[in-house]
Amino acid sequence: MTAIDTRTQARNLLAEASAIFTRNGIDSPELDAELLLAAAAGVDRTRLLAGCWSADRECVRRFHLLVERRAAREPIAYIVGRKEFYGLDFEVGPTVLIPRPETELLVDCALKILRARPGSRVLDIGTGSGAIAVAIAVHAPDAEVTATDLSAAALELAARNVRHHGCGLRINLFVGDLFAALPCSHQKYDLIVSNPPYVREEDIAQLDPEVARYEPQMALSGGKDGLDFYRRLAAEAASYLRPRGEVIVEVGAGQAAEVAGLLEAGGCRAVETLRDLAGHERAVRARLAH
Ligand code: SAM
Ligand code: GLN
């Protein structure tokens, strides 16, 4: 088949898939169709659009299966098994939350703090895919990072991302509930970061089907009022911080003031509320009070 034939065939396949996605309420039908056709063809999107691939029958069959999954609102990242975060490529799958671009703000803030504290120890609680821990380790090469998660399956995937980015010697992974995951030697940290589950239980069903049906409940549910995880983290964080140690936690809409209050009650002094590019309060930064 010539490149022109391939482009015509691609146009037809893409038009058919986009129409299905539009009928199923998907926001970016054309882009999603292109990403899935590229995945089925085993090429990147640029090569796909240039016609530098061939659509044999097997490729078309693969594409139709991927389209069916996306039409059922499975997230693209789970279908292709990858997601970019902080300019780095991560493996993702149904055992972990898909890292969100908003969470890059937490990494920006962490790196700013670490530049002023060389050789720091960092703790990432609820690391999921390992996105935050890896982004910090890659960009702060003198930091020593510990990352934990209650989900053993998530940590297995995080371990692959850690190896993929060559951070195996600088990121330690531990499975378990909050601070109980840590080995009993009472290590203290310069910085604790966390993007915890913070969605109110009753709100989960109203989230987009991509989130509500496919992402792990354990990564989303912050209990009745969404604040369960912060309550527990704030009560213990101070005893795991070195002098002038800091905490940065991502928060959901409308949670910043309450989370700052919890951290203050736990012995920290709230320093700053960070806003994302859309102007929404997105993270709270606090420092050990003494
Ligand atoms: N840090 C990742 C990110 O930003 O993409 C994942 C964040 S996800 C919102 C929250 C993570 O916390 C999930 O991986 C979940 O398994 C983990 N988690 C939930 N409860 C936990 C607990 N009690 N102790 C430790 N981790 C927990
Ligand atoms: N930001 C996620 C969402 O869009 C929630 C993740 C979390 O609970 N930390 O639903």
Domains and CATH numbers, the chain: 3-72 (1.10.8), 87-288 (3.40.50.150)
Tell how strand 189-194 and strand 281-288 pair up.
Answer: unpaired
> What count of residues does the chain have?
290
- The rounded Å distance from CA 195 to ligand 1 centre is 7
Question: Would the pTM count as exceeding 0.85?
Answer: yes
State how far the Cα of 239 lies from the Cα of 236, in Å rounded to an integer: 6
Angle at 196 between CA 285 and CA 112, to 5 degrees: 35
User: What's the confidence (pLDDT) of residue 184?
Assistant: 75
User: How far apart are the C-alpha atoms of 280 and 278, rounded to whole Å?
Assistant: 6
Alpha-helix runs per DSSP H in the chain = 3-23, 29-41, 45-50, 57-71, 76-80, 104-115, 131-139, 152-164, 209-214, 217-220, 228-237, 256-265
CA nearest to 246, candidates 107, 108, 110: 110
Beta carbon of 193 within 6 Å of any ligand 2 atom: no
What separation in Å is there between the alpha carbon of 97 and the centre of ligand 2? Answer: 8
CB distance 34 to 22 below 8 Å:
no
Q: Is 242 helix (H, G, I), strand (E, B) or coil?
A: strand
Query: Exposed/middle/buried for 191, CB within 10 Å: 0-12, 13-18, 19+?
Result: buried
Could you give the 3-state DSSP secondary structure of residue 168? coil
**What pLDDT is recorded for position 163?**
98
Q: What is the DSSP string of 32-90?
A: HHHHHHHHHHTS-HHHHHHT-S---HHHHHHHHHHHHHHHTT--HHHHHTEEEETTEEE
For atom 11 of ligand 1, the residue with the nearest CA is 126
Ligand 2 atom 7, closest CA: 197
199 in contact with ligand 2, CB cutoff 6 A: yes
Helix (H) or strand (E) run with residue 270 in it? strand 268-275
Burial of 279 from C-beta contacts in 10 A (0-12 / 13-18 / 19+): exposed
> Model confidence over 18-61: pLDDT tens digits?
999 999 999 999 999 999 999 999 998 888 888 777 778 999 99
pLDDT below 50 — which residues of the chain?
Answer: none
Q: In the structure, which protein residues have their CB atom closer than 6 angstroms to any atom of ligand 1?
A: 96-97, 99, 103, 125-129, 131-132, 148-151, 154, 177-178, 195-197, 218-219
- Write the residue with the smallest CA distance to atom 9 of ligand 2: 197
The secondary element (H helix, E strand) that includes residue 268 is strand 268-275
Atom of ligand 1 at shortest distance to CA of 198?
9
From the CB of 204, is ligand 2 less than 6 Å away? no
* CB 284 within 8 Å of CB 246: no
Q: Which atom of ligand 1 is nearest to the CA of 220?
A: 9
3-state secondary structure of 206: helix
Helix H or strand E encompassing 174 = strand 171-175
8 Å CB contact between 238 and 184: no
Q: What is the pLDDT of residue 1?
A: 61
